[in-house]
Amino acid sequence: MKARELAVAGAFAFVPEVFPDDRGLFLSPFQQEAFEAAVGHPLFPVRQTNHSLSRRGVLRGIHYTVTPPGTAKYVYCARGRSLDIVVDVRVGSPTYGRWDSVLLDQQDFKGVYFPVGVGHAFLALEDDTVMSYMLSGEYVPQNELAVSAFDPALGLPVPDGQEAVLSERDTVAPTLEAAREAGTLPEYAACREAEAALWPTAHASGGPGADR
């Protein structure tokens, strides 16, 4: 499995080796050893897994979780094709306001790691696009917030609001600056603390991720 760091601090993309044969194919979309070598700590304890099915043109996000408690994610596309986007909404982060994107599909089966506090969006590029998530926290509706994927200051590579299919929450989501002025964005220091708390034994002993 190959890994590369994205433009948002702490976010990574992973590319597993795919083994095709006359029966189909086999791969491992998540591999602990490769993940730990790239990120510097094990994957978070998984508290929930999610599965979404989207038709072409569906745009979900930009979603983030109130921190604390915060949520880290590992995401891949099990079927179809999507443009997966990570946005740094953590106030005080060295990459605040930056974003990066990864094309996820059923050929390469790339995965993306989202550290605690960052924003996540994806655009379904085909009908019946299936996204699979592992999460460090359970879903709590009042902790789930959004900023607009159409914020001109961000300039995300998404179609305009008339072409994309959005939920009501995403349609009325504020810009990043408006959310910052309202005090609803997570603080970078709080996100780092929440992420460190996912591995209390490793951090207390100076093990993986202790200084990251």
Q: Which residues are catalytic?
A: 63, 133
The 10 Å Cβ neighbour count of residue 49 is 10
Residues 61 and 121 sit within 8 Å (Cβ to Cβ): yes
The 10 Å Cβ neighbour count of residue 4 is 11
Q: Which one-letter DSSP state was computed for residue 203?
A: H
Q: Where are the beta strands (DSSP E) in the chain?
A: 2-5, 12-15, 19-21, 24-26, 48-54, 59-65, 73-79, 81-87, 99-105, 111-114, 119-124, 129-135, 144-146
